[in-house]
């Protein structure tokens, strides 16, 4: 009799399915600044063959990680805590804690990486100069993202769907642009579309500058393959039937 009745007005927590909660989040992290701004540079340095090797190595690492996450998740009930919960319950909190601290720091750096990549996009307007424009746009972008995050998971998921649609449109725009005949201005800067002789010429690596090495190219590309953890990190916000990741 002394217990208080449950509050019927309490808001039900937001739960996501595997599409919004896992797939969209992983695709947004994979289709990031590395793919749009660095993959072409990696291909320019490493060539088509070694670039395919780099992508294949990243896929192998990601596949093994996905199988490991699935094995851990199916061994017991997964609640909130994401990657930290899985690691700490498997290897112990002594190992899970330090790994999670490093992973949190890596997420902060990933946010900075994508923010700088977005700020480097040529908007056709110069505010101060090239360097300070990146800083100004970056600060504004991070502030907007902070407000979206503070607003809650519901707003954050809606914005992610909007970003996902923008990415799909950009991919369609890219594919259409590759089959459109290139103008003289674009050919002057090296954009010719599909040409067999250029493809064969770029099969092998052509290292230029001090950054030219296979493992450095792999290190630059690999952050694009870590997006798989985005779905695992919100395990506490997934629906019961979708908590496999």
The DSSP result for 191-217, as a single string, is ---S-HHHHHHTSS----STT--HHHH
Angle at 181 between CA 178 and CA 187, to 5 degrees: 90
Of the pLDDT bands very low, low, confident and very high (cuts 50, 70, 90), residue 50 is very high
Of the pLDDT bands very low, low, confident and very high (cuts 50, 70, 90), residue 3 is very low
Q: What average pLDDT score do residues 21-32 get?
A: 78
The pLDDT value recorded for residue 80 is 66
Q: Could you tell me the sign of the dihedral formed by the alpha carbons of 163, 165, 168, 170, in that order?
A: negative
What's the pLDDT tens digit per position in 136-147?
A: 888 998 898 888
217 or 94: which leads in pLDDT: 217
Is the entire prediction scored with pTM above 0.85? no
As a whole number, the mean pLDDT across the chain is: 78
Kindly list the domain boundaries of the chain, sorted by start residue. 18-179+225-242
The pLDDT value recorded for residue 193 is 80
Percentage of the chain beyond pLDDT 70 is 83
Of the pLDDT bands very low, low, confident and very high (cuts 50, 70, 90), residue 14 is low
Q: What average pLDDT score do residues 207-215 get?
A: 80
């Amino acid at each position: 009799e002394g217990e208080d009745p449950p509050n019927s007005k309490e808001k039900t927590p937001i739960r996501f399915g595997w599409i919004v909660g896992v797939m969209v989040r992983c695709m947004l992290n994979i289709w990031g600044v590395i793919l749009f701004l660095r993959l072409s540079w990696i291909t320019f340095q490493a060539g088509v063959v070694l670039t395919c090797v780099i992508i294949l190595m990243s896929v192998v690492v990601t596949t093994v990680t996905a199988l490991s996450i699935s094995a851990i998740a199916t061994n017991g009930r997964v609640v909130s805590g994401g990657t930290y919960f899985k690691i700490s319950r498997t290897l112990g909190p002594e190992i899970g804690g330090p790994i999670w601290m490093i992973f949190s720091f890596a997420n902060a750096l990933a946010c900075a990486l994508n923010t700088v990549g977005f700020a480097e996009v040529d908007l056709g307007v110069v505010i101060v100069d090239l360097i300070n424009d990146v800083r100004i746009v970056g600060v504004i972008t991070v502030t907007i993202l902070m407000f979206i995050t503070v607003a809650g998971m519901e707003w954050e998921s809606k914005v992610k769907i909007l970003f996902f649609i923008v990415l799909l449109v950009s991919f369609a725009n890219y594919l259409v642009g590759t089959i459109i005949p290139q103008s003289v201005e674009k050919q002057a800067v090296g954009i010719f579309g599909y040409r067999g002789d250029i493809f064969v010429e770029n099969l092998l690596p052509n290292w230029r500058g001090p950054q030219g090495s296979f493992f450095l190219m792999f290190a630059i590309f690999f952050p694009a393959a870590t997006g798989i953890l985005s779905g695992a990190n919100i395990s506490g916000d997934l629906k019961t039937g979708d908590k496999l990741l």
